Amino acid sequence: MPGKRKRSPTRWRKFSRRTPPGADPGTILPDASAPRPRISLIAYGPTGFIERDCATPEAAAAEMGKHAVVWVNIDGLGDADTISRIGELFGLHKLALEDVVNTHQRAKVETYGEQVFIVIREAAFTDHLEMDQIGMFLTRDAVITFQECAGDAFDPVRDRVRKRKGRICALRADYLAYALCDAVIDAYYPVLERYGELLEDLEDETIERPTRHTVERIHSIKREFLTLRRAIWPAREAVGSIIREDLPNIHADTKLYFRDCYDHLIQLIDMLETYRETGGDLMEVYLTSISNRMNEIMKVLTIISTIFMPLTFIAGIYGMNFSTTSPTNMPELHWKYGYLFALGLMAAVAAAMIAYFWRQGWFGGRRAR
Amino acid sequence: MPGKRKRSPTRWRKFSRRTPPGADPGTILPDASAPRPRISLIAYGPTGFIERDCATPEAAAAEMGKHAVVWVNIDGLGDADTISRIGELFGLHKLALEDVVNTHQRAKVETYGEQVFIVIREAAFTDHLEMDQIGMFLTRDAVITFQECAGDAFDPVRDRVRKRKGRICALRADYLAYALCDAVIDAYYPVLERYGELLEDLEDETIERPTRHTVERIHSIKREFLTLRRAIWPAREAVGSIIREDLPNIHADTKLYFRDCYDHLIQLIDMLETYRETGGDLMEVYLTSISNRMNEIMKVLTIISTIFMPLTFIAGIYGMNFSTTSPTNMPELHWKYGYLFALGLMAAVAAAMIAYFWRQGWFGGRRAR
Amino acid sequence: MPGKRKRSPTRWRKFSRRTPPGADPGTILPDASAPRPRISLIAYGPTGFIERDCATPEAAAAEMGKHAVVWVNIDGLGDADTISRIGELFGLHKLALEDVVNTHQRAKVETYGEQVFIVIREAAFTDHLEMDQIGMFLTRDAVITFQECAGDAFDPVRDRVRKRKGRICALRADYLAYALCDAVIDAYYPVLERYGELLEDLEDETIERPTRHTVERIHSIKREFLTLRRAIWPAREAVGSIIREDLPNIHADTKLYFRDCYDHLIQLIDMLETYRETGGDLMEVYLTSISNRMNEIMKVLTIISTIFMPLTFIAGIYGMNFSTTSPTNMPELHWKYGYLFALGLMAAVAAAMIAYFWRQGWFGGRRAR
Amino acid sequence: MPGKRKRSPTRWRKFSRRTPPGADPGTILPDASAPRPRISLIAYGPTGFIERDCATPEAAAAEMGKHAVVWVNIDGLGDADTISRIGELFGLHKLALEDVVNTHQRAKVETYGEQVFIVIREAAFTDHLEMDQIGMFLTRDAVITFQECAGDAFDPVRDRVRKRKGRICALRADYLAYALCDAVIDAYYPVLERYGELLEDLEDETIERPTRHTVERIHSIKREFLTLRRAIWPAREAVGSIIREDLPNIHADTKLYFRDCYDHLIQLIDMLETYRETGGDLMEVYLTSISNRMNEIMKVLTIISTIFMPLTFIAGIYGMNFSTTSPTNMPELHWKYGYLFALGLMAAVAAAMIAYFWRQGWFGGRRAR
Amino acid sequence: MPGKRKRSPTRWRKFSRRTPPGADPGTILPDASAPRPRISLIAYGPTGFIERDCATPEAAAAEMGKHAVVWVNIDGLGDADTISRIGELFGLHKLALEDVVNTHQRAKVETYGEQVFIVIREAAFTDHLEMDQIGMFLTRDAVITFQECAGDAFDPVRDRVRKRKGRICALRADYLAYALCDAVIDAYYPVLERYGELLEDLEDETIERPTRHTVERIHSIKREFLTLRRAIWPAREAVGSIIREDLPNIHADTKLYFRDCYDHLIQLIDMLETYRETGGDLMEVYLTSISNRMNEIMKVLTIISTIFMPLTFIAGIYGMNFSTTSPTNMPELHWKYGYLFALGLMAAVAAAMIAYFWRQGWFGGRRAR
């Protein structure tokens, strides 16, 4: 009763869809309270590299075609006009753009003409699980990414481009798309490792010191595993289809890297499913823990009752008021050591009871049966 | 005991099939108590648009072939003759028509010659879940829809046609069929969001204040999830077959839109399965909640018994009637402060017991073990 | 203890196989206690129709080839010679005939040369579930059906032939085979509807007035669902293979009807699986119901104990025999209103206890926590 | 506590593999304590038939090629030299021979050159489940079978050959292989029927008179179902691959018989899975049974406590020692009918309590709530 | 409470990935605390054989091409430079090498150009489960193996080479790769057999003498089964793909041996799944065991209460202080044998209660209901 139940941040009503039923397909209706779009651009090739923020979509579009690879990143989806304008300038399909602003898509890969549209979900764990959607368009020489919120999953890739580290600057846009996907997927590892620790703590709590709130925590962690599952499994399918299918703009040598990425997803699924099975068992473990606790409580009650009931009964007998004028009526009352006899009788009974429970192993330490 | 159990409106016996076993296939035997058919017609093309109610099937049939797209909508299935007459006038297959009036079909797509027959189920949540069947025939230039009851799922599409909004008026009958399917499927979103809220409330109730009726509510919501599941999964298969297969009258460019529709179904399934798993866990959570409750009750009983049994025993001892003529018999009774000694002894015993329970953490607030 | 447990009629030992292990394949060894075969014949074509009972297999065989469609029906399998003789006369394969008399086959479709052999199971619910096997051979112009017992599933088809209702008389033997299968499969609807009602009653019983026998009923209904499942799922596979595969004597236009039949099987499976999931949940619901019941019992015990233990203790105190010659020893006994004081003290303690339980919400009506 | 727990004979450690890890593949290392091999030979053709025991492998090999079909059967695997020698004489592959002596193979079918190697498991139920492995080599005109122990599954086939009953003597070695497989598979029927009876008894026990040992029996039967499952499912795959694949020495007309055999396996799986589901439910039924039992016990305790606590309290009141010199102090003690009044008061309280429990339906017979 | 909970050695946080998210693919970042690499080399052909330890990667590379088969084994992965240097000298792909040092890969088979890269996990059970990763590269004439720790799984293969036992020395590098895989996989048998024994002990403990720690052990063994499962299932897929696919350097005749290896994996999976199902049941068995235990405790309490409450009540009656001047007030007190009468009454009540419980079968030995 005391203490407020902390609300888990991943609540069901988050599933809401912004576009109303029956609306014209391709309607762009972002959440007005979402952060407003911020456009930044990185362009590079085997030789050059530029990075800048763009005030308008037009400024970004102006750089198209001048570099080997152009990467336009939009953080925040809170303005329908900007999003639509970007869609027009870069020739993005309306159905894909609708998915970008309805930020509860499953991970997926779709082809619209010569463009590949990839949706992937990003996970972060601060003090709770946060999931954001990333929409990515891959054209021949550009990658356009839409992030629900400004996350930091892309930072290592930016660094690699800036410092011209590794192969990235020598390769094409599809390798950039891979590098971004890989960075997002690898960011699941620390999240899952954190959940591993939480789960371990929860196991200890469940087995060693279960409280009324433990069941809430188990239920809550299971729900978050479901959320993660809904993010990772479709990502596996999506990356799998990139490897298997013949998609435009994705070259055979990049597929080798996507295969590595797929491998990581399989590992993540492995970890998550192991957690889920263990989490599923915990409720059962909890139930046995409280049943054991009940047994302990009942034992105390039974031991106390079993010892004191006979004693009280004996005391009750010698509290009866039979007239002792008849010699057969309670002669003990007049014995010289009657009282000591009665106390001794009581002590004997109590000792017998305690011995019985001891032999039954009810005093935990020895043996349970 | 007090308060009537509210009957859930989705009961099993609703599964009844109207056509008796062994009847000739294609027998039209609608529920006589169902609302009588009401026929309305919308016809449009790149340039014109008409909308009217038709008193007879013949009036509707007369418009066929005069417009780019004709949409005949029949609300209510309560009259065998009208339905059969429509079937004849529009050349609908008898087996399909039998399915239209047996309103417990799974969603499906079937081809009869040049016609495509689509069954889809519509969901609405007023204060309970309501599911209606929609049967839809797609020919080259017409869509004929049969609704079990007059629902409002089609209204946004009617509006788009009336206001010539979006691409709908420039496109063919298959796009109209898509628009109608999409409107019906998108109408599942608010229903599922509502269930998300119900489930959340039920979780709070189960964890924080479970009553005898909670188990009923959990059982009932799980049953409604089953009903929704039986509607949504087959719809996914049906729309999937529209995308994959080469059906008459459905053009390749419309399939892109059906793919979007399929995507929505996948999302709905995702939501529903998450709800189902969580709902499934709730029963277990409830069981642990009432076990915890039992532990609380047992603790109260054990604490009270353990304190008062020894006290009553002590009182019993000094209520014994041993003759105090013998100096060894209950000398305490004649002590000057015998009574206070007895009371003090009792207080000491009670304090010891309370201290024991405190150390065991039985007074909830501190620690459970 | 009182009242006899009613034995469910579908017991496990019914699974017995008549042919001993290692017997020559094709051995015909029917259950001698089964009803003896009764042969009836219906033959029809676009123009004529005859119906008669045949005393011997030869009488039936004599009609072969004279009509467009000949339907020989054998009720009862209790005579090896008759069955073998029919097999010889109509050229039925020995392995198929062995399956006809071992009446615990799964539904299946097999091809033997130009013959199609169909096994299907028939369900009826009188006061318990009854399942019978139907074996059906389809040749170019004849259908030969073997029924374990004389059921009435075929009656509506006989009626349609007699009254020349619908298309049946104009079509070939494969349509007759379809009509018979369809009649058998449609007969599952009323059975499942009946189970829907039983399940609903059982749900009410489990939630509102669970007894020791409820668990038996739940266990029993789950077992009957398993039996139904073992009948319906294979039937779906069998009918599915009729649609997909290119079987002799089954024409493309009849497959459209079998597709309808397949559709019904899918619906039946849907119903059954929904029932099974709900039935599976009931055991859990029952467990929570009796746990709730236990809580109620424990509450009564705890309330009574907690009220009367302190009262008895107080009475015990004033029943002690301390010598009141010392003024500190139990002065209350000599107070003028000592007795009323004691009673008042008791009333106060009882009131405090009751108030405590009231505040804890233990008196059901108000709130549970 | 009293009574010895009977050990189930199918214990886990039986899973041991004889060949040590890393040994050269094809190492023959049979269990030295196993029965020593006993070689018997049956050879037959359309006209002749011989049957004899062979002292050495060479004696058996000498008959090869002289008859249409030669069947060499080896009972017991306890001698590496004999087994190896047989392998050499009949040209059996070393890897297959290694599997023959490691008698914990799954059922399977493998091709080694022109030989087909079949492993199948035989079941028998004496007072416990016994599973033995049968290894079978099929060459063009011979079948060589290795049995772990001398079972009697092959006896009906021997009889059929001896008595020249059925088609067996007119057909080739592949039919003999089929006949042997079929005999082994059909021998599962009586075993499963026996388990059906055991399960039925266990159901009755669980529902009507559960004891502490019931849970052991349920757990044990579930484990034996797992063992059977591990035998039957792979057999289905193995026989299925015989039907589907084009194996050497197996002719198309024999496949029809193997299809029948496959059908039996499907039926066996059906039975077994039904048993397994029912067995799985039993643990749950048992748990509800003991919960019901607990309720009964608690009811007795609660009824007794609730009746006697108030009575003892009343007795306690009139045992108090208030000085009756004050007229307000316990005037009842001096009433003429005070004692009867007290007894009457007690009777009234007891009656009220009993009435309360009666109305609550706690006396089983009437209603539970 | 007393006794320290022994920590299971396979904890979740072991899942950690060394390479940080977003790092360049192919980054070699081994665990610096891991043992430093130790390189050993075995080379052989049909005629010769050498074995030596190599101080540097270059020393090993120098032997390449001089022998029919070269096997380089690296124990320990604790030095990035050495690993990278080996990668360069033997032309190993960077992505594969990254997987070698991230030692939490699933078993898998990948092709990089003409090289086959195999990952497999090795299991050992000392007093807990230990899993290590083995990375293996197969080229035309060499096998390069990386072991996380120096295990002894490869020793039997080394022995076979040294002693030129079996076919191994006459065959190519792919046979060596097979022999190594087979040795690793066969090493699972003793581990699983050990778990079989542990599980059997745990079953006995759960049924016969469950303690609070039993639930921990069950939970822990289930978690270790999950770990084994995560190792064995992917190994099956990997070996399966070796058989099915056309991989470089793996010849058709070696595939026969890999098929044997695949067979062993199927057997291991069989064993493991059987263990897992049994382990899963144990929690349920445990729950029923403690419920049974609770019943026992409650019975003791109920028997004691039910016997002593009426007795204490009778004693209480005769302890009342009704003035016996009225002849109707407690005349028993003045009976000559009043006391004996009272004792007799008590004995009768106690006997009746004991008889009742005896008839109810509460004294375990006789019957439970």
E43-54 confidence digits (pLDDT tens)? 998 888 899 999
pLDDT at residue E9 in the model: 42
Interacting residues of C369 by C-beta distance below 8 A, sequence separation 6+: A1, B208, B209, B210, B293, C360, C361
Q: Is residue B7's pLDDT more than 50?
A: no
Query: What residues have CB less than 8 Å from D244, skipping those under 6 apart?
Result: none
**How far is CA C125 from its chain centroid?**
9
Lookup: tokens for A161: 């481009």
Using the Cβ of B260 and the Cβ atoms of chain A, whether some distance falls under 8 Å is answered with yes
Provide mean pLDDT across the span A131-160: 90
| pLDDT over threshold 80, residue B365 | no
Asked if the C-beta of C349 comes within 8 angstroms of chain D's C-beta atoms, the answer is: no
Average pLDDT over residues E181-200: 92
Cβ neighbours of D283 in E, within 8 Å: 281, 284-285, 288
Stretches in chain C below the pLDDT threshold 50: 1-13, 365-369
Residues with Cβ within 8 Å of residue C285, at least 6 apart in sequence = B215, B219, B283, C203, C206, C207
d(CA C314, CA C303): 18
Chain D CB within 8 Å of residue E322 CB: yes
Other C-beta atoms lying within 10 Å of the C-beta of residue D25: 20
Q: Which of A16, A209, A309 sits opposite B367 (nearest CB)?
A: A209
Cα separations in angstroms, C357 against A298, B252, B333, E214: 21, 71, 38, 37
Distance CA B232, CA B224 (A): 12
pLDDT digits (tens, 9 = 90+) for D67-117: 999 999 999 888 889 999 999 999 999 999 999 988 888 999 999 989 999
For CA atoms C261, C263, C265, C268, the dihedral sign is negative
Separation between Cα atoms, residue D14 and residue E274, nearest integer Å: 13
**ipTM passes above 0.95:** no
Per-residue pLDDT, averaged over B37-64, amounts to: 90
Q: What is the mean pLDDT of residues A289-303?
A: 90
Give which of C195, C292, C306 to mutate to test B binding, by max B Cβ within 10 Å: C292
Q: Which chains touch D (3 or more CB pairs under 8 A)?
A: C, E
pLDDT at E273 over 90: yes
How many residues make up chain B in this entry? Answer: 369
In the prediction, which pLDDT does E364 show?
62
Phi, psi of E149 (to 5 degrees): -130, 160
3-state helix vs strand vs coil in chain A, percent to 5: 55, 15, 35
CA distance A131 to A134: 10
Q: Where are the alpha helices (DSSP H) in B91-187?
A: 94-101, 155-162, 173-186
Query: What's chain A's average pLDDT?
Result: 87
Give the Å distances, CA to CA, from B199 to D264, D317, E75. Answer: 47, 54, 54
pLDDT over threshold 70, residue B166: yes
CB pairs under 8 A between C and D: 193
Distance CA E349, CA A118 (A): 82
For E17, phi then psi, to 5°, come to: -105, 135
Which stretch of DSSP H or E encloses residue C180? helix C173-186
Task: Say what the pLDDT of residue B185 is.
Answer: 94
What integer best gives the mean pLDDT of chain E?
Answer: 87
Sheet holding B38-44, edge to edge: B49-54, B38-44, B69-75, B142-147, B129-138, B115-125, B108-112
Taking a C-beta distance cutoff of 8 angstroms, is the pair C69, C45 a contact?
yes
Interface probe, candidates B6, B13, B17, B313, chain C, greatest C C-beta count within 10 A? B17
- Please state the rounded mean pLDDT for residues E235-246: 94
Per DSSP (E only), the strands in chain D are 38-44, 49-54, 69-75, 108-112, 115-125, 129-138, 142-147
Residue A14's pLDDT is 55
- Given this model, what pLDDT does residue D14 score? 55
**Collapsing DSSP states into helix, strand and coil, what is residue D7?**
coil
Name which of C196, C298, C320 is nearest B298 (Cβ-Cβ). C298
Given a contact cutoff of 8 angstroms between Cβ atoms, the answer to whether C73 and C154 are in contact is yes
The 8-class DSSP code of residue A102 comes to S
C109 vs A318: CA distance, rounded Å: 87
What pLDDT, on the 0 to 100 scale, is given for residue C4? 37
Q: Answer whether residue A49 shows pLDDT above 90.
A: no
Asked if B369 and A208 count as a contact pair (C-beta separation under 8 A), the reply is: yes
- Model confidence at D264, pLDDT cuts 50, 70, 90, reads very high
Facing residue for E301 by CB, picked from A160, A165, A301: A301
* Averaged pLDDT for residues B116-131: 90
Secondary structure letter of residue B35 according to DSSP = P
Nearest to C206 by CA among B230, B368, D288: D288
State the average pLDDT for chain B.
87
**Stretch B232-254: mean pLDDT:** 93
- The helix-helix angle for A252-317 and A214-244 (nearest 10°) equals 160
- For residue B136, the one-letter residue type is M
| C-beta separation of B266 from A106 below 8 A | yes
pLDDT > 60? residue A7: no
Range with the poorest average pLDDT among A238-252, E132-146, E323-337, E354-368: E354-368
- Residue D126 pLDDT: 82
Going by their DSSP bridges, the two strands B115-125 and B129-138 should be labelled as antiparallel
Contacts of D207 in chain C (CB under 8 A): 5, 215-216, 219
Instruction: Please give the share of chain D, as a percent, with pLDDT higher than 70.
Output: 93
Report the half-sphere exposure of D293 (CA within 13 A, side-chain side): 28
Q: Which residue of A has its CA nearest to E7?
A: A204
Summary mean pLDDT of chain D = 87
Query: For the purposes of burial, counting CB atoms within 10 Å of the CB of A125, is it exposed (0-12), middle (13-18) or buried (19 or more)?
Result: middle
Which residue, among C79, C80, C60, has the nearest Cα to C70 in the 3D structure? C60
139-158 in chain D: CB under 8 A from chain C:
153, 155-157
Q: C313, B316: Cβ pair inside 8 Å? A: no
DSSP state of C17: -
Contact indicator for A150, A76 with CB cutoff of 8 Å: yes
E32, E77 Cβ separation under 8 angstroms: no
CB A137 within 8 A of CB A143: yes
- Across B328-333, average pLDDT: 86
Q: Round to whole Å and give the CA distance between C313 and A312.
A: 11
Nearest to C285 by CA among B207, B297, B220: B220
Sequence-separated (6 or more) residues with CB below 8 Å from residue A287: B284, B287, B288, B291, E287
Which pLDDT score is estimated for B14? 55
Measure the CA angle with vertex D160, ends D158 and D161; round to 5°: 65
Interface residue E365 vs chain A (CB under 8 A): no
The structure tokens listed for D15 are 């899973």
Which residues have a Cβ under 8 Å from the Cβ of D344 and sit 6 or more positions away?
A: none
Q: Smallest CA–CA separation between B298 and chain C, in Å?
A: 7
165-224 in B: which are within 8 Å (CB) of C? 208-212, 215-216, 219, 222-223
Cβ neighbors of B36 (< 8 A, separation 6 or more) are B76, B78, B79, B82
The predicted model gives E169-185 an average pLDDT of 93
Beta-strand relationship, D38-44 and D49-54:
antiparallel
| Chain E residues touching residue A288 (CB < 8 angstroms) | 215, 283, 286-287, 290
pLDDT category of residue D367 using cuts at 50, 70 and 90: very low
Nearest residue to D190 (alpha-carbon basis) of C284, C13, A106, E301: C13
* Count of helix runs (H) and strand runs (E) in chain B: 9, 7
If phi > 0 it is left, if psi is from -120 to 50 it is alpha, else beta; for residue A280 that is alpha
Q: Hey, which residues does D123 pair with through a beta bridge?
A: D131
Cβ contact (<8 Å) for A281 and E222?
Answer: yes
